[in-house]
Structure 1
Amino acid sequence: MSKVVLITGGSSGIGKSIGEFLIGKDFIVYGTSRSPEKYKDSKFPILALDVKENLTISETVRTIIEKEGKLDIVINNAGAGITGPIEETPDEEIKNNFDTNFFGPIRVIKAVLPQMRKQNSGLIINVTSIAGYMGLPYRGVYSASKGALELLTEAFRMEIKDFNIKMTNVAPGDFATNIAAGRYHAPLLENSPYKKPYGDTLNLMNTHVDNGSDPDIMAKAIYKIINNPNLKVHYKVGEFLQKFSIVLKRILPDTVYEKMLMNHYKL
């Protein structure tokens, strides 16, 4: 029987690429969006779900189980970007980002675990970010929310192992998606002491996304992970230098690594 997959944030970008790739491999795929009516031409069903609203999550999970009788794979892909000097980023925007990037996946996981436990099988893939392995200047909140999800997965894996449910992290680097368009940007204030370095860094970040890798690379990586019986805790998908930056963080003294990052961002 075909495996049933739920992809949060499956209407565009990485989520859409993963969904389209998997239906080509005979998976039954459901994506989600806060505004599913905008995606009537999607190659797979897009259901209404907001990772910040428990009711929409439970309704979507129930809809899939009622129709398919099972739920084999959940890909926690929905996420939000945020940039800005931490000092000048409103508290509400920081909370909102964690509500989407960290608490959102927790809500989805809690909603699907009872069904997976009943099946005695299941796979949960949390899409994090290479940025979650390091505190990046003017992306500190984003780095923190994705890094928190990485650590949460490490703990969750051990707690659900007895139920034959597997979980892993996949950390993408820069991919050519529309994430920058939906990202919260702390405004560039004229009288801000951060105006020039933040502005320069923001331009560099947007260039990285514009020149990012094809999201299909991420889709193929997810497919390989799904078919791997011996899952690792962490996967990284992206350009060599982006993945190698994580290795350097492990082996270099903190201050040396910090200086390397500052040189990269011309700070």
Structure 2
Amino acid sequence: MSKVVLITGGSSGIGKSIGEYLIQKDFKVYGTSRNPDRYKDSKFPILALDVKENNTILTTVRTIIENEGRLDVVINNAGAGITGPIEEIPEVEIKNNFETNFFGPINVIKAVLPQMRVQQSGLIINITSIAGYMGLPYRGVYSASKGALELLTEAFRMELKGFNIKMTNVAPGDFATNIAAGRYHAPLLENSPYKKTYGDTLNLMDAHVDNGSNPNLMALAVYKIINTQNPKVHYKVGEFMQKFSIVLKRILPDKVYEKLLMNHYKL
């Protein structure tokens, strides 16, 4: 019997790549978007869901269960980027980012757990970010929201073990997607004390995304995890140096690591 998969944010980028790969492997895939009518040519159904609107989460989960009778894999992929000097990012935008990257996945998890408990099985994969392992300059809010989801997963895993429900994180590095176009950018203010350093860092971040890895690497990683009997707590997918940066953070003194980051961003 084909496993039933829900991918939030499955209309483009990493989510789309994962969905298209899984249907080739005979999974029954449902993706989501805030505007599903834009994706009528999708290779798998795209349902209406906004992770900031809990009623849309509950409706979509209910629809899938009514259609399929089960829900085997949930991939919390929907997310939003945000950049800027923390001092200059409006509070409303910080809260908005956490609503999407942190509270949204929590509400999706809460919506699917009752069905997975009935089944006594299920796998939840939270797509986080390598940026969530470190505080990055001008990406501090994004790092914090993704880092929070990493830690939440560690706790959730232990709470769910008795129900045979599994959960893991997959942290991608920079991938060639449209995330840069969709992220919130704090404006480059002419009189800002951060004008030059933020502007230079913004250009560097966009270049990293433009030259990023193929999203199909994430699809392969997710497929492998789904077929793993006991998934690890954390997975990282990306360029060697991006993954190695996490290792360096563990072994280097804090100030040495901070200096490496500042040199990288030319600060």
Output the TM-score relative to the length of structure 2: 1.00
Please give the alpha-carbon distance, in whole angstroms, between the structure 1 residues aligned to 2:225 and 2:67. 26
Please give the alpha-carbon distance, in whole angstroms, between the structure 1 residues aligned to 2:54 and 2:230. 32
Per the TM alignment, residue 81 of structure 1 is displaced from its structure 2 partner at its CA by: 0.1
Aligned to 1:116: 116
Aligned to 2:221: 221
Please give the alpha-carbon distance, in whole angstroms, between the structure 2 residues aligned to 1:192 and 1:105. 34
Aligned to 2:244: 244
Deviations 1:61-80 (A, max 9, x none): 00000000000000000000
**Structure 2 SS opposite 1:190:** coil
Say if 2:243 is the partner of 1:253.
no
Aligned to 1:56: 56
Deviations 1:177-211 (A, max 9, x none): 00011100000000000000000000000000000
Please give the alpha-carbon distance, in whole angstroms, between the structure 2 residues aligned to 1:243 and 1:127. 15
Per the TM alignment, residue 219 of structure 1 is displaced from its structure 2 partner at its CA by: 0.3
- Equivalent residues in 2 for 1:42-53, closer than 5 Å: 42-53=42-53
Aligned to 1:19: 19
Per the TM alignment, residue 230 of structure 1 is displaced from its structure 2 partner at its CA by: 1.9
Please give the alpha-carbon distance, in whole angstroms, between the structure 1 residues aligned to 2:228 and 2:157. 16
Amino acid at match of 1:30: Y
Q: Percent identity?
A: 87
Say if 2:100 is the partner of 1:86.
no
Please give the alpha-carbon distance, in whole angstroms, between the structure 2 residues aligned to 1:231 and 1:69. 25
Deviations 1:2-48 (A, max 9, x none): 00000000000000000000000000000000000000000000000
Cα RMSD (Å): 0.3
**Structure 2 SS opposite 1:118:** helix
Aligned to 1:103: 103
Please give the alpha-carbon distance, in whole angstroms, between the structure 2 residues aligned to 1:52 and 1:11. 17
Per the TM alignment, residue 255 of structure 1 is displaced from its structure 2 partner at its CA by: 0.1
Aligned to 1:262: 262
Amino acid at match of 2:169: N
Amino acid at match of 2:5: V
Alignment coverage as a number of residue pairs: 267
Stretches of structure 2 that go unaligned for 5 or more consecutive residues are none
Stretches of structure 1 that go unaligned for 5 or more consecutive residues are none
**Structure 1 SS opposite 2:182:** coil
Please give the alpha-carbon distance, in whole angstroms, between the structure 2 residues aligned to 1:47 and 1:123. 20
Aligned to 2:65: 65
Amino acid at match of 1:141: V
Amino acid at match of 2:155: A
**Structure 2 SS opposite 1:43:** coil
Please give the alpha-carbon distance, in whole angstroms, between the structure 1 residues aligned to 2:236 and 2:219. 13
Amino acid at match of 1:165: I
Per the TM alignment, residue 105 of structure 1 is displaced from its structure 2 partner at its CA by: 0.2
Please give the alpha-carbon distance, in whole angstroms, between the structure 2 residues aligned to 1:254 and 1:11. 39
**Structure 1 SS opposite 2:92:** helix
Please give the alpha-carbon distance, in whole angstroms, between the structure 2 residues aligned to 1:224 and 1:69. 24
Please give the alpha-carbon distance, in whole angstroms, between the structure 1 residues aligned to 2:207 and 2:54. 36
Please give the alpha-carbon distance, in whole angstroms, between the structure 1 residues aligned to 2:163 and 2:228. 18
Per the TM alignment, residue 174 of structure 1 is displaced from its structure 2 partner at its CA by: 0.2
Please give the alpha-carbon distance, in whole angstroms, between the structure 2 residues aligned to 1:90 and 1:263. 28
- Equivalent residues in 2 for 1:198-237, closer than 5 Å: 198-237=198-237
**Structure 1 SS opposite 2:191:** coil
Please give the alpha-carbon distance, in whole angstroms, between the structure 2 residues aligned to 1:65 and 1:256. 51
Say if 2:152 is the partner of 1:149.
no
Output the TM-score relative to the length of structure 1: 1.00
Deviations 1:158-177 (A, max 9, x none): 00110000000000000000
Please give the alpha-carbon distance, in whole angstroms, between the structure 1 residues aligned to 2:227 and 2:240. 23
Please give the alpha-carbon distance, in whole angstroms, between the structure 1 residues aligned to 2:222 and 2:25. 12
Amino acid at match of 1:118: V
